Amino acid sequence: MAKKILMSVNMRCQKCRSAALKIGGQTTGVTFVGLEGEEKDQVVVIGEGVDAAGLVLRLRKKVGFADLISVTDVDTS
């Protein structure tokens, strides 16, 4: 079953947003990556078998502060 991972990421510029989306897209098992929130400061990743904690660690290393908000099941039908 697919999971929806919502993370808050401190993105100061367009380059940081691009890097965050690129990191999310390169993760194995990901089917969708996008930005949410009023200020587009939340990254949404949907996929199967995605390691949420590992993804947050990679975002912290490459982009800056990142915090895992929620992991929920998504109905794919």
The pLDDT score that the predictor gives to residue 32 is 95
Answer positive or negative: Cα dihedral of 25, 33, 13, 63.
negative
Residue 77 has pLDDT above 80, yes or no: no
Residue 7 has pLDDT above 70, yes or no: yes
For residue 15 the two structure tokens come to 């380059």
pLDDT in tens, 13-48: 999 999 999 999 999 999 999 999 898 999 999 999
Residue 4 has pLDDT above 70, yes or no: yes
Q: Name the nearest CA neighbour of 58 among 14, 32, 26, 11.
A: 26
The pLDDT score that the predictor gives to residue 76 is 65
